[in-house]
Amino acid sequence: MRLSTKGRYGVTAMMDLAIHDGVGPVTLADISQCQGISLSYLEQLFSKLRKHGLVEGVRGPGGGYKLARPAEGITVAEIIAAVDERVDITNCNGNGDCQNGQRCLTHELWTELSNRLYDFLNDITLSQFVSRPGIRELAMQRDEINGRFALAKRQASALRQEAR
């Protein structure tokens, strides 16, 4: 398990998608502007998210990215693993044997901690943050302030439909 700014970018971007889930795709240009990350860098991150089956791209005008699965099924651990791509689980000098074929006890304890951490993050889904009452209304207001009019408009009509 590893957690860098890259992971944070991934998670916040996915939160953005989750907030507007069902409203329509969110463009990277939009996220780029709101989060202050370069567009091309976001494209690289989303390439990974897509390859890991977390998001789907929709091309053409009105396109963007949307969640590939319902927000209830996407965990924070998954997102971080997707963008950080930690193939290297390097505990010892490579593959688990400390010096004499025996792994240091501390390495085992670390593995235990690491697993606990993963389980913790794997228990937190996107929907836990986003599906709280009032969040989508708040998002709509923020979108208007931030000039994301297309999204705000779609959000509004989605909320009206929900109200009926």
Partner DNA sequence: TAAATTCCCTACTAATCTAGTCAGGAATAC
Partner DNA sequence: GTATTCCTGACTAGATTAGTAGGGAATTTA
Residues in contact with its own copies by CB under 8 A are 1-5, 8, 11-13, 15-16, 19, 33-36, 76, 90, 92-93, 98-100, 102, 104-107, 109-110, 112-114, 116-117, 120-121, 124, 129-130, 135, 138-139, 142, 145-147
Taking the least distance from each CB to DNA, the nearer of 25 and 71 is 25
Residue 161 three-state SS: helix
Which is nearer to its own copies, 60 or 133 (by Cβ)? 133
CA dist 135 to 60, 105, 130, 131, Å? 29, 46, 6, 7
**Using the 8-state DSSP alphabet, how is residue 71 labeled?**
G
Q: Which does 6 bind (CB under 5 to 8 A by kind): its own copies, DNA, none?
A: DNA
Q: Measured between alpha carbons, how far is 159 from 28 in angstroms, rounded to an integer?
A: 23
User: Which two tokens mark 113?
Assistant: 């901690």
Q: How far apart are CA 5 and CA 10, in angstroms?
A: 8
Give the interface with DNA as residue ranges (CB under 7 A). Answer: 4-6, 9, 25-29, 36-41, 43-44, 46-47, 50, 57-65, 84, 88
